[in-house]
Protein backbone atom coordinates (compact mmCIF):
# COMPACT_ATOMS: atom_id res chain seq x y z
CA UNK A 1 0.00 0.00 0.00
CA UNK A 2 1.20 3.49 -0.75
CA UNK A 3 2.47 5.39 2.25
CA UNK A 4 0.25 8.26 1.26
CA UNK A 5 -2.75 6.01 1.84
CA UNK A 6 -1.43 5.08 5.25
CA UNK A 7 -0.50 8.62 6.29
CA UNK A 8 -3.86 10.06 5.29
CA UNK A 9 -5.48 7.03 6.90
CA UNK A 10 -3.75 7.74 10.19
CA UNK A 11 -4.72 11.42 10.29
CA UNK A 12 -8.28 11.05 9.00
CA UNK A 13 -8.83 7.74 10.81
CA UNK A 14 -7.98 9.27 14.14
CA UNK A 15 -10.26 12.24 13.51
CA UNK A 16 -13.12 9.99 12.45
CA UNK A 17 -12.76 7.83 15.55
CA UNK A 18 -12.73 10.93 17.71
CA UNK A 19 -15.87 12.35 16.11
CA UNK A 20 -17.70 9.03 16.30
CA UNK A 21 -16.74 8.42 19.91
CA UNK A 22 -17.41 11.92 21.22
CA UNK A 23 -21.15 11.55 21.74
CA UNK A 24 -20.59 8.30 23.68
CA UNK A 25 -17.99 9.62 26.12
CA UNK A 26 -18.42 8.33 29.66
CA UNK A 27 -21.19 6.03 28.50
CA UNK A 28 -21.53 2.34 29.32
CA UNK A 29 -19.98 -0.51 27.35
CA UNK A 30 -21.95 -1.61 24.32
CA UNK A 31 -23.79 1.67 23.84
CA UNK A 32 -22.60 2.14 20.27
CA UNK A 33 -23.63 -1.25 18.93
CA UNK A 34 -26.87 -1.08 20.89
CA UNK A 35 -27.73 2.05 18.94
CA UNK A 36 -26.21 0.88 15.65
CA UNK A 37 -26.56 -2.90 15.64
CA UNK A 38 -25.69 -3.47 11.99
CA UNK A 39 -22.24 -2.43 10.82
CA UNK A 40 -22.37 -0.40 7.65
CA UNK A 41 -25.97 0.68 8.05
CA UNK A 42 -25.15 4.39 8.34
CA UNK A 43 -26.19 7.17 10.69
CA UNK A 44 -23.32 6.53 13.11
CA UNK A 45 -21.97 10.08 12.85
CA UNK A 46 -24.86 11.06 15.05
CA UNK A 47 -23.66 13.87 17.28
CA UNK A 48 -24.98 14.35 20.79
CA UNK A 49 -23.60 15.22 24.19
CA UNK A 50 -22.91 18.73 22.94
CA UNK A 51 -21.26 17.60 19.70
CA UNK A 52 -22.62 18.19 16.23
CA UNK A 53 -22.67 15.21 13.87
CA UNK A 54 -19.13 14.78 12.55
CA UNK A 55 -17.59 17.28 14.94
CA UNK A 56 -14.13 16.27 16.15
CA UNK A 57 -13.21 16.96 19.77
CA UNK A 58 -10.07 18.18 21.50
CA UNK A 59 -8.09 15.12 20.45
CA UNK A 60 -8.15 16.08 16.79
CA UNK A 61 -8.09 19.80 17.45
CA UNK A 62 -4.78 19.44 19.27
CA UNK A 63 -3.43 17.07 16.62
CA UNK A 64 -4.11 19.75 14.02
CA UNK A 65 -2.38 22.37 16.16
CA UNK A 66 0.70 20.14 16.36
CA UNK A 67 0.59 19.54 12.61
CA UNK A 68 0.34 23.22 11.74
CA UNK A 69 3.22 24.06 14.04
CA UNK A 70 5.44 21.34 12.56
CA UNK A 71 4.70 22.56 9.05
CA UNK A 72 4.84 26.28 9.62
CA UNK A 73 7.96 26.13 11.79
CA UNK A 74 9.68 23.63 9.53
CA UNK A 75 10.34 21.22 12.38
CA UNK A 76 9.86 20.60 16.06
CA UNK A 77 9.46 23.96 17.81
CA UNK A 78 8.23 23.02 21.27
CA UNK A 79 7.59 26.56 22.56
CA UNK A 80 5.56 27.24 19.43
CA UNK A 81 3.41 24.12 19.94
CA UNK A 82 2.90 25.05 23.57
CA UNK A 83 1.90 28.58 22.57
CA UNK A 84 -0.68 27.25 20.12
CA UNK A 85 -2.06 24.93 22.79
CA UNK A 86 -2.35 27.89 25.18
CA UNK A 87 -4.10 30.05 22.59
CA UNK A 88 -6.54 27.23 21.94
CA UNK A 89 -7.15 26.54 25.63
CA UNK A 90 -7.80 30.23 26.28
CA UNK A 91 -10.59 30.16 23.68
CA UNK A 92 -12.54 27.70 25.83
CA UNK A 93 -12.86 24.66 23.60
CA UNK A 94 -15.92 22.52 24.27
CA UNK A 95 -13.71 19.83 25.76
CA UNK A 96 -10.24 19.87 27.23
CA UNK A 97 -8.53 17.37 29.50
CA UNK A 98 -8.26 18.42 33.13
CA UNK A 99 -4.56 17.74 33.17
CA UNK A 100 -3.98 19.57 29.91
CA UNK A 101 -6.04 22.56 30.99
CA UNK A 102 -4.16 22.89 34.28
CA UNK A 103 -0.80 22.86 32.53
CA UNK A 104 -1.79 25.27 29.77
CA UNK A 105 -3.34 27.82 32.09
CA UNK A 106 -1.05 27.79 35.12
CA UNK A 107 1.07 30.63 33.78
CA UNK A 108 4.34 28.72 33.87
CA UNK A 109 6.78 28.65 30.94
CA UNK A 110 6.52 25.87 28.36
CA UNK A 111 9.46 23.87 29.66
CA UNK A 112 8.33 23.87 33.30
CA UNK A 113 4.54 23.87 33.27
CA UNK A 114 3.95 20.14 32.92
CA UNK A 115 6.79 19.09 35.19
CA UNK A 116 5.67 21.40 37.97
CA UNK A 117 2.10 20.26 37.65
CA UNK A 118 3.26 16.66 37.96
CA UNK A 119 5.36 17.44 41.02
CA UNK A 120 2.34 18.81 42.78
CA UNK A 121 -0.39 16.48 41.55
CA UNK A 122 1.58 13.25 41.01
CA UNK A 123 -1.16 12.41 38.54
CA UNK A 124 -0.23 12.94 34.92
CA UNK A 125 -0.60 9.59 33.19
CA UNK A 126 -3.75 10.51 31.32
CA UNK A 127 -4.19 9.71 27.65
CA UNK A 128 -4.13 13.40 26.66
CA UNK A 129 -0.79 13.29 24.88
CA UNK A 130 -1.46 9.96 23.20
CA UNK A 131 -4.76 11.17 21.81
CA UNK A 132 -3.23 13.93 19.67
CA UNK A 133 -0.27 11.98 18.23
CA UNK A 134 -1.51 11.01 14.75
CA UNK A 135 -0.07 14.02 12.93
CA UNK A 136 3.34 13.99 14.61
CA UNK A 137 3.55 10.24 14.04
CA UNK A 138 3.14 10.83 10.32
CA UNK A 139 5.59 13.70 10.27
CA UNK A 140 8.41 11.94 12.09
CA UNK A 141 8.05 8.44 10.66
CA UNK A 142 10.55 9.03 7.84
CA UNK A 143 13.13 10.21 10.38
CA UNK A 144 13.37 6.71 11.80
CA UNK A 145 12.68 4.86 14.99
CA UNK A 146 14.78 6.85 17.42
CA UNK A 147 13.77 10.25 16.06
CA UNK A 148 10.05 9.53 15.98
CA UNK A 149 10.00 8.16 19.52
CA UNK A 150 12.07 11.08 20.74
CA UNK A 151 9.73 13.60 19.14
CA UNK A 152 6.73 11.80 20.62
CA UNK A 153 8.19 12.04 24.12
CA UNK A 154 9.03 15.73 23.77
CA UNK A 155 5.60 16.72 22.48
CA UNK A 156 3.93 14.61 25.16
CA UNK A 157 6.04 16.25 27.85
CA UNK A 158 4.61 19.66 26.97
CA UNK A 159 1.46 18.78 28.87
CA UNK A 160 2.23 15.56 30.71
CA UNK A 161 4.95 15.36 33.32
CA UNK A 162 4.62 11.63 33.87
CA UNK A 163 6.99 9.59 31.77
CA UNK A 164 4.30 6.93 31.40
CA UNK A 165 2.47 9.30 29.05
CA UNK A 166 5.65 9.95 27.06
CA UNK A 167 6.32 6.25 26.62
CA UNK A 168 2.78 5.45 25.53
CA UNK A 169 2.92 8.22 22.94
CA UNK A 170 6.32 7.00 21.75
CA UNK A 171 4.96 3.47 21.30
CA UNK A 172 2.12 4.86 19.19
CA UNK A 173 4.58 6.81 17.02
CA UNK A 174 6.69 3.73 16.47
CA UNK A 175 3.73 1.50 15.63
CA UNK A 176 2.61 4.00 13.00
CA UNK A 177 6.16 4.18 11.63
CA UNK A 178 6.51 0.44 11.16
CA UNK A 179 3.07 0.29 9.57
CA UNK A 180 4.26 2.78 6.95
CA UNK A 181 7.00 0.28 6.14
CA UNK A 182 4.34 -2.37 5.57
CA UNK A 183 5.29 -4.15 8.78
CA UNK A 184 2.46 -5.55 10.88
CA UNK A 185 2.39 -3.31 13.98
CA UNK A 186 1.22 -6.21 16.12
CA UNK A 187 4.23 -8.25 15.09
CA UNK A 188 6.43 -5.26 15.91
CA UNK A 189 5.21 -4.98 19.50
CA UNK A 190 8.02 -6.99 21.12
CA UNK A 191 10.71 -4.94 19.37
CA UNK A 192 8.86 -1.74 20.21
CA UNK A 193 8.56 -2.67 23.88
CA UNK A 194 12.31 -3.13 24.01
CA UNK A 195 12.62 0.58 23.17
CA UNK A 196 10.43 1.66 26.06
CA UNK A 197 12.07 3.13 29.15
CA UNK A 198 12.88 0.17 31.45
CA UNK A 199 10.90 1.62 34.30
CA UNK A 200 7.74 1.61 32.19
CA UNK A 201 8.22 -1.46 30.04
CA UNK A 202 6.43 -4.06 32.15
CA UNK A 203 3.27 -2.08 32.47
CA UNK A 204 3.04 -1.60 28.71
CA UNK A 205 3.98 -5.21 28.08
CA UNK A 206 0.97 -6.20 30.14
CA UNK A 207 -1.63 -4.13 28.27
CA UNK A 208 -0.12 -4.86 24.85
CA UNK A 209 0.11 -8.62 25.32
CA UNK A 210 -1.87 -10.72 22.83
CA UNK A 211 -4.09 -12.19 25.52
CA UNK A 212 -4.94 -8.91 27.24
CA UNK A 213 -8.53 -7.69 27.19
CA UNK A 214 -9.69 -4.16 28.11
CA UNK A 215 -11.82 -5.77 30.82
CA UNK A 216 -8.60 -6.56 32.66
CA UNK A 217 -7.62 -2.91 32.90
CA UNK A 218 -6.77 -1.72 36.38
CA UNK A 219 -7.46 1.93 35.57
CA UNK A 220 -10.20 3.88 33.78
CA UNK A 221 -9.42 4.02 30.07
CA UNK A 222 -8.74 7.74 30.33
CA UNK A 223 -5.33 6.62 31.62
CA UNK A 224 -2.62 6.15 29.05
CA UNK A 225 -1.93 2.41 29.56
CA UNK A 226 -5.43 0.95 29.08
CA UNK A 227 -6.14 3.51 26.36
CA UNK A 228 -3.22 2.34 24.24
CA UNK A 229 -3.85 -1.28 25.19
CA UNK A 230 -7.49 -0.99 24.18
CA UNK A 231 -6.62 0.56 20.82
CA UNK A 232 -4.17 -2.23 20.06
CA UNK A 233 -6.73 -4.78 21.26
CA UNK A 234 -9.35 -3.26 18.93
CA UNK A 235 -6.93 -3.51 16.00
CA UNK A 236 -5.94 -7.07 16.92
CA UNK A 237 -9.42 -8.50 17.39
CA UNK A 238 -11.12 -7.07 14.30
CA UNK A 239 -10.55 -7.31 10.56
CA UNK A 240 -11.40 -3.88 9.23
CA UNK A 241 -11.37 -0.16 10.01
CA UNK A 242 -15.07 0.13 10.77
CA UNK A 243 -15.15 -2.85 13.10
CA UNK A 244 -12.05 -1.67 14.95
CA UNK A 245 -13.72 1.68 15.65
CA UNK A 246 -16.95 0.01 16.71
CA UNK A 247 -15.05 -2.22 19.13
CA UNK A 248 -13.22 0.77 20.58
CA UNK A 249 -16.33 2.87 21.20
CA UNK A 250 -18.20 -0.12 22.58
CA UNK A 251 -15.71 -0.27 25.43
CA UNK A 252 -17.40 2.80 26.90
CA UNK A 253 -15.62 5.33 29.09
CA UNK A 254 -13.27 7.69 27.28
CA UNK A 255 -14.70 6.68 23.94
CA UNK A 256 -13.56 9.60 21.82
CA UNK A 257 -9.93 9.17 22.75
CA UNK A 258 -9.84 5.36 22.68
CA UNK A 259 -11.44 5.55 19.23
CA UNK A 260 -9.10 8.34 18.12
CA UNK A 261 -6.05 6.24 19.03
CA UNK A 262 -7.62 3.16 17.47
CA UNK A 263 -8.47 5.16 14.36
CA UNK A 264 -4.90 6.37 14.04
CA UNK A 265 -3.53 2.84 14.15
CA UNK A 266 -6.29 1.27 12.07
CA UNK A 267 -6.22 4.11 9.55
CA UNK A 268 -2.50 3.59 9.01
CA UNK A 269 -2.99 -0.15 8.82
CA UNK A 270 -5.96 -0.31 6.46
CA UNK A 271 -5.37 2.96 4.62
CA UNK A 272 -7.54 5.94 3.79
CA UNK A 273 -9.76 4.09 1.35
CA UNK A 274 -10.92 1.76 4.11
CA UNK A 275 -12.53 4.63 5.99
CA UNK A 276 -16.20 4.85 5.05
CA UNK A 277 -17.08 7.98 3.08
CA UNK A 278 -20.24 8.38 5.13
CA UNK A 279 -17.91 8.98 8.09
CA UNK A 280 -15.47 11.32 6.37
CA UNK A 281 -18.08 13.50 4.68
CA UNK A 282 -19.61 15.05 7.83
CA UNK A 283 -16.23 15.19 9.57
CA UNK A 284 -15.13 18.65 10.65
CA UNK A 285 -12.60 20.03 13.11
CA UNK A 286 -13.26 23.40 14.74
CA UNK A 287 -10.16 25.24 15.93
CA UNK A 288 -11.15 27.51 18.82
CA UNK A 289 -8.80 30.47 19.14
CA UNK A 290 -7.75 30.34 15.51
CA UNK A 291 -10.02 32.80 13.74
CA UNK A 292 -13.03 30.53 13.67
CA UNK A 293 -11.42 28.12 11.28
CA UNK A 294 -13.11 24.76 10.78
CA UNK A 295 -11.14 22.08 8.94
CA UNK A 296 -12.94 19.60 6.77
CA UNK A 297 -11.83 16.43 5.04
CA UNK A 298 -10.03 18.19 2.20
CA UNK A 299 -8.08 20.27 4.73
CA UNK A 300 -7.06 17.18 6.70
CA UNK A 301 -5.90 15.50 3.51
CA UNK A 302 -3.85 18.52 2.55
CA UNK A 303 -2.35 18.46 6.03
CA UNK A 304 -1.54 14.75 5.81
CA UNK A 305 -0.01 15.30 2.41
CA UNK A 306 2.30 18.02 3.64
CA UNK A 307 3.18 16.08 6.78
CA UNK A 308 4.21 13.19 4.57
CA UNK A 309 6.63 15.24 2.50
CA UNK A 310 9.55 13.73 4.38
CA UNK A 311 9.14 10.37 2.76
CA UNK A 312 10.88 11.81 -0.25
CA UNK A 313 9.43 9.27 -2.62
CA UNK A 314 6.89 11.43 -4.31
CA UNK A 315 4.59 10.87 -1.39
CA UNK A 316 3.99 14.53 -0.79
CA UNK A 317 3.48 15.56 -4.38
CA UNK A 318 0.08 16.41 -5.60
CA UNK A 319 -1.98 14.60 -3.04
CA UNK A 320 -3.51 17.64 -1.46
CA UNK A 321 -4.86 19.39 -4.49
CA UNK A 322 -7.99 18.10 -6.01
CA UNK A 323 -8.24 15.19 -3.68
CA UNK A 324 -10.77 16.86 -1.50
CA UNK A 325 -13.61 15.94 -3.76
CA UNK A 326 -15.24 12.67 -3.24
CA UNK A 327 -12.38 11.09 -1.49
CA UNK A 328 -12.47 8.20 0.81
CA UNK A 329 -13.97 5.75 -1.57
CA UNK A 330 -12.15 6.51 -4.76
CA UNK A 331 -9.24 4.27 -5.53
CA UNK A 332 -8.52 6.38 -8.59
CA UNK A 333 -7.69 9.35 -6.41
CA UNK A 334 -4.16 8.18 -5.70
CA UNK A 335 -1.42 9.66 -7.85
CA UNK A 336 -0.10 7.10 -10.30
CA UNK A 337 3.52 8.03 -9.82
CA UNK A 338 3.98 6.93 -6.21
CA UNK A 339 6.04 3.78 -6.03
CA UNK A 340 4.93 0.82 -4.01
CA UNK A 341 6.41 0.70 -0.57
CA UNK A 342 6.50 -3.07 -0.51
Q: Using the rule CB under 5 A, give the single segment among 58-66, 167-175, 191-199, 264-272 that binds Mg ion.
A: 58-66
Kindly state whether residue 159 participates in binding Mg ion, applying the rule CB under 5 A.
Answer: no
Which residues inside 72-111 make contact with Mg ion, applying CB under 5 A?
95
Q: Using the rule CB under 5 A, give the single segment among 101-109, 155-163, 256-264, 312-320 that binds Mg ion.
A: 256-264
Q: Using the rule CB under 5 A, give the single segment among 6-14, 52-60, 144-152, 325-333 that binds Mg ion.
A: 52-60
Question: If we measure between CA atoms, which residue out of 198, 140, 215, 143 comes closest to residue 172?
Answer: 140
Output the smallest distance, CB 234 to Mg ion, in A.
17
Name which position in 5, 57, 129, 255 contacts Mg ion (CB under 5 A). 57
Q: What string of DSSP letters covers 242-304?
A: HHHHHHHHTT-BSHHHHHHHHHHHHHHHH-GGGS-HHHHSS-EEE-TTSTT-EEEHHHHHHHH
Residue nearest to Mg ion (CB): 57
In Å, what is the CA distance from 193 to each residue of 124, 189, 221, 228?
21, 6, 20, 13
* Neighbour count for residue 191 (Cβ, 10 Å): 12
Kindly state whether residue 59 participates in binding Mg ion, applying the rule CB under 5 A.
Answer: yes
CB 126 within 8 A of CB 224: yes
Q: Using the rule CB under 5 A, give the single segment among 59-67, 69-77, 243-251, 320-328 that binds Mg ion.
A: 59-67
Residues across the chain: 342
Nearer to Mg ion, 80 or 95 (CB): 95
Kindly state whether residue 148 participates in binding Mg ion, applying the rule CB under 5 A.
Answer: no
Output the smallest distance, CB 94 to Mg ion, in A.
9
Nearer to Mg ion, 279 or 315 (CB): 279
Cα separation, 44 vs 47, in Å, equals 8
Kindly state whether residue 256 participates in binding Mg ion, applying the rule CB under 5 A.
Answer: yes
Nearer to Mg ion, 20 or 113 (CB): 20
Distance of CA 232 to the CA centre of its chain: 13
Nearer to Mg ion, 14 or 280 (CB): 14
Tell me, by CB under 5 A, how many residues bind Mg ion.
5
Question: If we measure between CA atoms, which residue out of 153, 149, 169 comes closest to residue 59?
Answer: 169
Kindly state whether residue 14 participates in binding Mg ion, applying the rule CB under 5 A.
Answer: no
Nearer to Mg ion, 57 or 134 (CB): 57
Nearer to Mg ion, 95 or 243 (CB): 95
Name which position in 55, 58, 68, 167 contacts Mg ion (CB under 5 A). 58
Cα separation, 59 vs 237, in Å, equals 24
* Neighbour count for residue 78 (Cβ, 10 Å): 16
CB 295 within 8 A of CB 287: yes
For Mg ion, the binding residues (CB under 5 A) are 57-59, 95, 256
Amino acid sequence: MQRMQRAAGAVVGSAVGDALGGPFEFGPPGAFSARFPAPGAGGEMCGGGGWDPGEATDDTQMAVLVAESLLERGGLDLPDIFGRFQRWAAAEPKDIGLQTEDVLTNGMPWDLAAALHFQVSRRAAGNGSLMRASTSAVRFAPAGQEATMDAARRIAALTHGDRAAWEGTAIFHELVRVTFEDTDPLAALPDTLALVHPGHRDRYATVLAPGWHPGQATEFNGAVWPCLGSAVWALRTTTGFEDAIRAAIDLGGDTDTVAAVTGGLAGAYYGLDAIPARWTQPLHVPLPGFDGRVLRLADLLRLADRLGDGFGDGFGDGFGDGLGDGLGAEPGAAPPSSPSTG
